[in-house]
Each structure stands twice: as C-alpha cells, then as structure tokens.
Structure 1
C-alpha cells in the first residue's frame, strides 16, 4: 500500500511539473534561444587559438657522466622530468627561439604562448604552442623543441670542458709513473673522443604540424552547451516563478483548498460571444452542472441556489446566467435574481431597464411580479430580476427580513431560484446572504489561474463560519481545449437563441 501511494505521489509530481512546463513553455523556449544566441555570439567574437605540439624524448644521463662511468641523476623520474620541463620553458631557451625565428617578441611573450608538460610514465616532453596562426603555432613549437636540444647540447659541451679541465688538473698533480695518472689520462681521452659526437641525449620524436581547426569547442558543440545551460536556467526560472506564484491553476488544487467537489469545469472559450449551433455547444459545461445539482438535490433541498466567488472576475455572473439557461431548457421554471447591488450587469446583459429590479421591490416601490422580466420569448419559463438602482447601503438592504420573503415567493412561483451574489472576500453582502434561511445551497465559482491561494483560503474560512453548506465549486477559465465531439450542437439548438441576439424581444415584460 505504501508503494502504491509513493507511486501515486511521483505521478502527481510529474504531472504537476508537466503542467507547469506546458503553461510556461514560452519562457523555456525564450531562455534557451537567448542562451544559444549568446553562446554563438561569444564563439564568433572570441579570438581563435590554434594549438600545435612537438614531442621531445629526453635522457637524464649526460655524456661526461657516461665517459667517467658515474651517474649523477637524482634517481627520481618525476624530479628529473620536472627539471627538464623547467629547462625547456626557461628564458634562455626562449631567447634562442627568438633569435632563430627573428621574432620581435621578447622571451616572456614567447613563453606565454608555450605550455610544456612531461608525459606520464615516459621521458617525453610535450611542447604545445597556442597562437592565433596555425602555421606560426607549429613553427614556434618546433623551434622550442629544437632550441631545447641545442641548449642541452651546449650544456653537455660545457660539462665536457669542465670535466677535461678538472682531469687535467688532477693529472698534472700526479707523478709521471703513477698508475692513477694513467687511469685519468684514459678518461681524458674518452672525453676528447665524445666531444665530436656530443649531444644532449634528447631528440625530437614528433614534430608539430599546423592544425586544421582552432582548439577548444566547435560552433555546434558551443551551441549545444548553450542550449543545455539555457534549459537549466529556464527550468530554474520557471520553478522559481511557480514557487512565487500564488495563483491556483488546477481543478485538483481548488478542490483541496475549498474541500469541495468540482461540479463542472467551464472552458475559457465559453465566455466568448457565440452564435447559433456553436453557442449551444458551449452550454455543455452548464448542462453538466445542472445534472450535478439534480443529483445533489436527491439528498437535500436545492430550490434556491446562491452563486458567489472568492473575488471578482471569476465568472460567477456568467455561471449564474448560463445555469439558469440550462435549467430553463429542460422546461422547468427558473428565476434569475441579481443580488449584486454594487456592480450589477444583468440589466445590460439582457437589455433591461436598470432602474427597476430588486431594490425597487425591497423598498416597496414595485410589486415583485411587475418587476420580473422574461426577456427571451423562446424561453418564457426563464424570469429575470435585475438589481435595479444602486442603494447606498447594500449590506443592510440584503439583511432585511423581506429578502427572505422575496426569495420564498420566487421559489413558490417559479420553482428554482438562481441568485447572483457579490464575491465573498471584498464585501460583506454575500456573507449576509449566507445567513438567509431562504437560501438552500451555495455554488462557489473559482477561476483557474486567477484566484490566489490566499483568496481561496479566506473564502473557505468565511464559508466554514456559516451554517449554509456549499454544494460544490464550478471551475472556470480552463484552457484545455480538448472537448468531446459529443459537445456538438444537437436538436436543442433551435430551442435556445442567445440573449445577445434577441435584442428585439428584450425589455418586454410578461406577467408570470
């Protein structure tokens, strides 16, 4: 069981990451492109360097030592190799190179273009020259190899001269018939014989040739590295933005925060103006919502429903209107009441007189049946009661006892009442309505990608403080366009024509 839960958590995490990437893919693509362009520009602007390497085999022994049958090496191969590296990269050798190449550069400049390393497990020096000219790099590496050998040869000759002088001094100090004198004279003869063939014991085993391409990364490799760096940077930016973004973006998260089931999900394109059969297809989410409410009504009375949201611009009015339409399409009587007395929109939406409505009924200026309007002649069972004139005290007006009487009368005459209420968090109006005994249930509208976690938690806390139990949530703003082909228009499209296109019939009052 633990493994099953662990696997489920991993799948949820992966699905969340994929949703984040799908939502912010433009940032990922943009950052990767910028990094690749920066890498390409840097490659184009960087001075190209060409490397050429010459290989020299060196010997730790010397001719004088061999002639005298002695060994003066350190016995430590690493130390002997380090000594030869220092010799090859010395200013004396660099001066010889400068003279050979007739270069205007000083020895230190030449040395800055040279790298000398001892090959591991071999008496070999790798002399590498790096310059902006491929031919010059090869010439410089070969010159350092040659002059290193010349310098070592000169050092051998100097050592032979010193050894001869030392032997001659010892010979002169001995008697003519001394046995030691004869031995020293033989050593002196060997030294004289080696002078003609004196070398450093080193030789070039690999001459440098001009490289065909610059060293370092090629352009394709540079672009690939730029893409990898850009992808890593983009992912870091995306998940940083995601951690800072307090908006709730998924239905599952809204269900967790509200602790309520999602009754329906409304795509973003359902809020756009539509015509004809396509418009009828957009009612499918509200038909699903209607079916969910009918199922919930089996266990509780839901004649009067309050539609609200945590904050504004979540689509609560659209949900209330379209839900009323969906219920009316079944032939049942339904009344749509606007209790948003601060920002009313139903009068404009249906083309009604904004001066008459809820406020005129509550203040006794008009009878309820006179204020009710049936704006769609194709749906005579849909009655609308707009807000009317804006009152100076909406919360107090909605808390009056005659509000419950109005709702009970509508429920008795029309059957189903859908109340469009203000949002929960900004004002107290909806909280006043939550205490009204005439309201049977609440529908919470939440817009994915708009409402923040703080807004949702505050609204959920408000709902928890009232006796009225919410039925569930309706999630709007869903951008997943994958919808079933069964959402195509059916026979019902001729029954309902959008309110926007029935302007000729709006504003006419019909007594219920």
Structure 2
C-alpha cells in the first residue's frame, strides 16, 4: 500500500503535466488536421468469373476465380493500369493525388477497388476507370478473341432459337392436319413422314443449342464484370479534426503518464513527509517550507530571530510545540539534531529550534558537536576559538567556562565547537563527555547537539547512547529513502531512539502541507501591507539583551562533589 500511495502522490505532483500534455497534443493535432486538404473516397466492386450466372457451377471454377481475384488486385495497382487510367481521364501524376487500395473479399469472388482523392468526382471516376481497365485486360474483355468468339456463339444461339421456335410451330401444324385426316388414311402417310423428319431435326437443333450454351457459359472463370459501380460521395473522410484531437489527447496522456511513472520509479528520494514518517517509524515533528529569500551568509539561517512573523519561523514554533508534547511522558530533553547527509539543513533546524525554545522561557544550551565542519559560530556570529573541545580536553584552565559557554540570547547559551580535534569520535564517546552532559542537565531545560550527518562519519553514533533521543532532518526530494532507513537502523543499533522527523525545504505548494503556510503567508504580508517606509519598524528584530550564563563551572572547587554525584546518578540509572 505504501508503494501505491507513493505513486499516487507522485502522480499528483505531475498532475499539471498530465493535464497539459493531452491538451497540447490535442490542440496541436486539431490545428494541423484543420489545415489539411479534405480527402474523399469512392469504391467499386467487381466479380471475377461467371459462377453467379451458372445454375450449377463446378468447384474448379470457384477455386480458379478466388485465386484470380488476388491476381487482379495486383494488376489494378500496376503501373500499366495507372497509365491507361491517366490517359482515359486525362490526368497527370495520378499517383501523387490519389491513393488506390484493392481488397479481395475473403472466400468470395469479389474485389473491392477503393480510391482516395482531393475531389469526390475524381475519386469515383478513377475507381470506375480501373474497373473498366481490368475488364479490358481480362481474356474475356470486349476486344479479346474469346469475346469475339462468344459473340458469334451468341448469334448462333439466337438463330437456332428462332429455328427451333419455327419448327415447333410446323410440328404443331402437322399434328393437327394428321389428326384431321386420320392417321390410318393413306393421305396421312406423307404428313406423318414429314412430321418425323421435323421432330428428328428439332432434336438435333436442341442438342446443338445445348452445346452452344455450354460453350457460352462453360469455363468463364477468367472474366470480370462490375457488380457495383463507384458513386460520388460528397462527405470527406479526412481530415477529421475532432477525432484526431481525441486520439492525440489519449496518446499524449499515455505518454505523459508513462513518463511520470518512469520518473517516479527511478526517483528514490523522499517526496512527502508521510513517506519519511513511514521510513523512520517516528512522528512528524514539523514540515518546514523553503525560505523565500536566498541565504547568502550563515547568520541568515536564523530566520526565527530575523523574521519571527514569517511562515518559516511559525513552522519552527510548531516544531517546538510538537517536540514538547511528544515528550510529556519520556521527558526527553537532551537531543541530537542530525541528518543522513550534508546540506539537508540540520544546523538551521538546530539553531532555530534552540531559539524558539529559549523564546518560550526554556533554558537552552546549544552545543556544536560537529567537530569537522562546525556551523553554529557562524550562525550566531561568535568566535569558535574556544568551545566543546576545550571543555573536553582542558582540565586546568579555571577560566575556560567563560570562554566556551556563550550567552547569545535570553535563555539561550551556545557552546561552539572550538579547535577541530584529530579524534572527534573519541572525544564525543569519552567519559568526560558523558559527565559534561550530566552537569548540563542539572542547569538547563534543553540540551541540543548539532552533529555531523549519521551516514557520513561515526561521531553522532558515539554520542547517541548518551542522549535522550535523536531528531532526524530530511530534505524534501533530496534525501534518499534507503539513507533515511539506514539512519533509523544506525540509531537503533546503538540503543538510541528517533524522537521524530523534521521534513525540511518542503515546497509550500505540496498537497496537504501548504494550506497553513498559504494562510499564514497571507496574514503575514497583509499585516505589513500599507506600512510606510518612514514609520515602519524593522522586521529584523534585534537580539534580546544577554542574560547571565548558568552557574556551570567545570573547575569549581566542588567539582569533586559533582563527579561523585555524577557517579552516583550513573549507578542509579544502571540499576
């Protein structure tokens, strides 16, 4: 079902193309078809053989006629026939203006001759002329020797029929005279002899007539006659713009639909928040839309400070709310914010989340645990000369706390990365790191770590067992599904827990997630509309006044007591 839902969601993204493709194809087909010259068609039907005129046709004649039909179909399209038709109709280059099609009707002696031309009268004339030319070409044509012989036979049949009719009258007259005189009278003898001669002659004439009929109607398989002549059809058969547009629209839709399916099949990125939720098996904490303005420097990523009324800042407040309510029972307050690969916006999410939590009155410490490519000092525009690495490695400087834990806003402290160490994984997995987290938990409500991507290095894997949970950041249409699933597996392998998913850089037009964005965007820009530049306050709010840092001192004389308390707390958690 997830696969089906993913394809349905993907096709919804391509809905504009699924509509535009058929419309463009149909419109183009309609326009091209409308500009074409009208075409007209006409056809004639001929029969090969004379079996229909024979009351008792033999099987051999039927088979011969059927085979001759295919032969005459080829002759009808031959160059000789075309030249004869052109001469008869006074046409030039008929092959370029007319399309001739011959089609034998299966299991019959019929041959259909169809012609398409630009003029309806011309189409009918060409079809009839081809039929006439086939008749002339056949052995039984009017100019053939067989035709002349047949004419002679027909004349003899007519003459013999007249003689038989006259002889029948004479026989009838003789019979009447004999009956009147009496057959036993001597005077009737000559009449009877004459009658017998007439009857004998009549029998011979009838036998001759039968022979002539057999000659005239005998083996006539190789003859052609027109069954149905071609007529003028004023209705054009082409072009048909509406039909062409419908077929082109269907074809365009099929091509676009197939292309969309192919793209979705090969695209293995996470397209929607729901898909990401299924992969990490954790709730969706926020779907953050793309920033409207292009980010040219790191400090512009802190949109919650620069433009707190923007839709993007509101989504970070939604993230804060969802995170608070999702941890009512577990009390997860020490979190890692990470992703599967670089440039997915994890540092932006971590910085803005820390900011909105601090704005809600929570004491927050944000730790830049990305000891390879740190970013937080650039976002908050502070120095990274001292930071996390100093806290983990320097045990003798009593002033290290003042230089590493920086107050960047009210209720918000930042621990930069510090100098980049050669062994970041070992530092993050050290005992001193675990104790530092415990000490911070005593002073702050939230501890947020910005770490490198999980699948890039092992640094976050070393830190995951020491925190309450992981917030995964995935970029829309960029993070691959297999990478997100590997992140979840990596977290669970070391005993960690994915608190939720933050779907970043989401298109505000995405279905189901742009409704609130559009509403809030309109509210935001409507509230600014009409404000003049001379009395408008700057939307970039100044950084609130700094508050005193929390009383964390790793070099306090009571550090030994803190370590003892930490060891006692660790012992209690292990029970």
TM range (shorter): 0.7 to 0.9
SS of equivalent residue, structure 1 residue 283: helix
SS of equivalent residue, structure 2 residue 270: coil
Counterpart-to-counterpart distance in 2, 1:431 and 1:189: 111
Counterpart-to-counterpart distance in 2, 1:131 and 1:102: 15
Name the TM-score, length of structure 2 as normaliser: 0.66
Q: Please tell me whether the aligned partners of residues 386 and 418 of structure 2 are also in contact (alpha carbons under 8 angstroms).
A: yes
Q: CA deviation at 1:353?
A: 1.5
The more displaced of 89-98 and 155-164 is: 89-98
1:405 aligns with 2:397: no
Counterpart-to-counterpart distance in 2, 1:509 and 1:391: 30
Match of residue 5 from structure 1: none
Match of residue 197 from structure 1: none
Q: CA deviation at 1:158?
A: 3.8
Counterpart-to-counterpart distance in 1, 2:61 and 2:538: 97
Q: Please tell me whether the aligned partners of residues 289 and 323 of structure 1 are also in contact (alpha carbons under 8 angstroms).
A: yes
Match of residue 89 from structure 2: 101
Q: CA deviation at 1:49?
A: 5.5
Q: How does 1:463-482 map to 2 (within 5 A)?
A: 463-479=491-507, 480=510, 481-482=514-515
Q: Please tell me whether the aligned partners of residues 119 and 125 of structure 1 are also in contact (alpha carbons under 8 angstroms).
A: no
The more displaced of 110-119 and 288-297 is: 110-119
Match of residue 482 from structure 2: 454
Counterpart-to-counterpart distance in 1, 2:292 and 2:92: 79
Q: Deviations over 1:211-248 (max 9, x none)?
A: 55354x53443333222222212222221221222112
Q: CA deviation at 1:407?
A: 2.5
Match of residue 254 from structure 1: 276
Match of residue 124 from structure 2: 138
Q: CA deviation at 1:423?
A: 1.2
SS of equivalent residue, structure 1 residue 451: coil
Q: Deviations over 1:355-405 (max 9, x none)?
A: 2322333332652244222223xxx21112222232233222323332223
Name the TM-score, length of structure 1 as normaliser: 0.73
Q: CA deviation at 1:339?
A: 0.7
Q: Please tell me whether the aligned partners of residues 338 and 346 of structure 1 are also in contact (alpha carbons under 8 angstroms).
A: yes
Q: Please tell me whether the aligned partners of residues 350 and 500 of structure 1 are also in contact (alpha carbons under 8 angstroms).
A: no
Match of residue 419 from structure 1: 449
Q: Please tell me whether the aligned partners of residues 307 and 420 of structure 1 are also in contact (alpha carbons under 8 angstroms).
A: yes
Q: How does 1:287-302 map to 2 (within 5 A)?
A: 287-302=317-332
RMSD over equivalenced CA pairs, Å = 4.8
Q: Please tell me whether the aligned partners of residues 39 and 223 of structure 1 are also in contact (alpha carbons under 8 angstroms).
A: yes
1:23 aligns with 2:13: yes
SS of equivalent residue, structure 1 residue 355: coil
Q: CA deviation at 1:470?
A: 2.8
SS of equivalent residue, structure 2 residue 309: helix
Match of residue 432 from structure 1: 462
Counterpart-to-counterpart distance in 1, 2:30 and 2:359: 62
Structure 1 residues 201 and 312: CA distance shift in structure 2, 3 A: closer
Q: Which runs of 5+ in 2 are unaligned?
A: 164-196, 215-222, 295-299, 525-536, 551-575
Q: Which runs of 5+ in 1 are unaligned?
A: 1-8, 192-199, 490-496
The more displaced of 175-184 and 160-169 is: 160-169
Q: Please tell me whether the aligned partners of residues 305 and 441 of structure 1 are also in contact (alpha carbons under 8 angstroms).
A: yes
Equivalent of 2:287, from 265, 279, 290?
265
Q: CA deviation at 1:297?
A: 3.5
Q: Please tell me whether the aligned partners of residues 50 and 130 of structure 1 are also in contact (alpha carbons under 8 angstroms).
A: yes
Q: CA deviation at 1:40?
A: 7.3
Counterpart-to-counterpart distance in 2, 1:201 and 1:427: 90
Tell me the number of residue pairs that the alignment of Structure 1 and Structure 2 aligns: 469
Match of residue 41 from structure 2: 51
Structure 1 residues 297 and 120: CA distance shift in structure 2, 3 A: same
Q: Please tell me whether the aligned partners of residues 428 and 462 of structure 2 are also in contact (alpha carbons under 8 angstroms).
A: yes
Counterpart-to-counterpart distance in 2, 1:31 and 1:335: 53
